[in-house]
């Protein structure tokens, strides 16, 4: 018989991230990681890091990193919030900003962590279906709600919407907090950071995990009005004062200061994405127009689940979601040109089977 105390344990279905592997031979295209190393300036900062300083707690406000981000986005430090990856930032935002009895709203096809946080924090939610082309219809978002969250570009569809779309969303939602999750914006999306100066209820979140190749350091941020940021800080400081460690502060700062390397890395990922998209279309795939570091694709008459499993046996890991509407799609992270050449070769091998 189960012990009585087990009744009090939290039962929750967690989010499952892309599989990690110790095998160095794997072509890993399943977690939207960047195939290029972090900026040499960030690497230098890590090498020069004084381990002795780890005796001390980090600066709880991570001011040094906030300052470079504030300069980068042309805002003040009290318009910036930092967290342990943007997952942490968004989790804090859900707790801090979504406290209505009305449901929060987001698209049916989107980042699958959102319903997990809703469940964890007891936040009611409602989804609006994206259309047959996987586009979000802004007119759906006119109904009264407890808050809005939309990734732009969206994941896993890879489709980006314009800042006009976001302004319309804000026009329709003046009584709610609107969060735009910009995890992938640097790969060709339109950022709404400027709009945070005009709309006090807009929070834009971002991450160092994708375009800055620092997924392992866990740095996420949000830009928004002083009002929103102060509430995020209050909630964060109610559960963990030190979400950004001393090493992340130094390496994150160096990464922001190396703008040239950042732009070059994004440019390379975009160029490879466009090449792979064209190649796959030639092979008969339907590939959505991506504004991210991944592509979302399907092929008529071909099982994407089977293809995903086949590629795994060839040590090429991509992502498959068994989710209604997209059960015959795969998400492929853009790797280096060499990695993508192997991916395309194995893909051809699969089609010729
Ligand atoms: N938002 C979206 C849409 C994502 O796909 C991810 C990555 N899984 C994140 C946020 C979080 O990324 P991180 O915590 O590494 O910043």
Distance 52 CA to ligand 1 centre (A): 32
Index of the ligand 1 atom closest to the CA of residue 219: 16
Distance 284 CA to ligand 1 centre (A): 30
Residues 79 and 225 sit within 8 Å (Cβ to Cβ) = yes
Percent of the chain with pLDDT over 70: 100
Angle at CA of residue 185, ends 179 and 188, nearest 5°: 145
| Residue 101 token pair | 């009895």
Model pTM score: 0.97
**Ligand 1: residue whose CA is nearest its atom 4:** 183
What residues have CB less than 8 Å from 163, skipping those under 6 apart?
A: 190, 191, 192, 194, 195
Distance 148 CA to ligand 1 centre (A): 17
Query: Given this model, what pLDDT does residue 24 score?
Result: 85
- 178-181 and 220-224 as β-strands: parallel, antiparallel, unpaired? unpaired
Distance CA(70)–CA(78), nearest Å, equals 8
Listed in order, strand segments (DSSP E) in 36-114 are: 80-83, 104-107
Query: Given this model, what pLDDT does residue 177 score?
Result: 98
| Model pLDDT for residues 144-192, shown as the tens digit of each residue | 999 999 999 999 999 999 999 999 999 999 999 999 999 999 999 999 9
Residues of the chain with pLDDT under 50: none
**Ligand 1: residue whose CA is nearest its atom 7:** 183
Query: Given this model, what pLDDT does residue 68 score?
Result: 98
Pocket of ligand 1 (CB under 6 A): 85-87, 111, 151, 155, 181, 183, 207, 209, 215, 220
Distance 30 CA to ligand 1 centre (A): 13
Query: Given this model, what pLDDT does residue 250 score?
Result: 98
Index of the ligand 1 atom closest to the CA of residue 220: 16
- The residue whose CB lies within 8 Å of the most ligand 1 atoms, and thus the one to mutate among 83, 154, 183, is 183
């Amino acid at each position: 018989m189960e012990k009585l105390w087990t009744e009090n344990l939290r039962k929750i279905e967690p989010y499952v991230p892309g599989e990690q592997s110790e095998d160095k031979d794997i072509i890993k295209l399943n977690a939207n990681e960047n195939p290029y190393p972090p900026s040499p300036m960030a690497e230098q900062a890590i090498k020069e890091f004084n381990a002795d300083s780890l005796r001390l707690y980090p600066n709880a406000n991570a001011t040094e990193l906030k300052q470079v981000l504030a300069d980068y986005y042309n805002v003040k430090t009290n318009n910036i919030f930092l967290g342990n990856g943007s997952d942490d930032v968004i989790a804090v935002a859900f707790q801090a900003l979504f406290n209505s009895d009305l449901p929060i709203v987001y698209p049916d096809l989107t980042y699958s962590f959102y319903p997990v946080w809703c469940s964890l924090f007891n936040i009611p939610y409602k989804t609006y279906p994206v259309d047959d082309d996987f586009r979000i219809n802004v007119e759906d978002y006119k109904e009264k709600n407890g808050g809005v969250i939309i990734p732009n570009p969206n994941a896993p569809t890879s489709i980006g919407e314009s800042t006009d779309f976001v302004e319309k969303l804000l026009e329709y939602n003046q009584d709610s907090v609107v969060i735009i999750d910009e995890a992938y914006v640097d790969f060709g999306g339109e950022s709404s950071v400027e709009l945070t100066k005009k709309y006090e209820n807009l929070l834009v979140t971002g991450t160092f995990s994708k375009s800055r190749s620092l997924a392992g350091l866990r740095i996420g941020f949000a830009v928004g009005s002083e009002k929103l940021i102060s509430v995020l800080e209050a909630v964060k400081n109610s559960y963990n004062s030190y979400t950004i460690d001393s090493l992340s502060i130094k390496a994150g700062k160096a990464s922001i200061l190396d703008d040239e390397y950042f732009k070059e890395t994004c440019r390379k990922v975009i160029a490879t994405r466009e090449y792979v998209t064209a190649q796959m279309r030639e092979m008969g795939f339907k590939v959505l127009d991506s504004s991210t570091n991944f592509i979302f694709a399907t092929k008529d008459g071909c099982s994407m689940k089977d293809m995903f499993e086949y590629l795994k046996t060839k040590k090429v890991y991509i992502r498959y979601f068994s989710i209604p509407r997209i059960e015959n799609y795969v998400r492929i992270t853009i790797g280096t040109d060499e990695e993508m050449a192997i991916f395309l070769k194995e893909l051809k091998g699969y089609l010729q089977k």
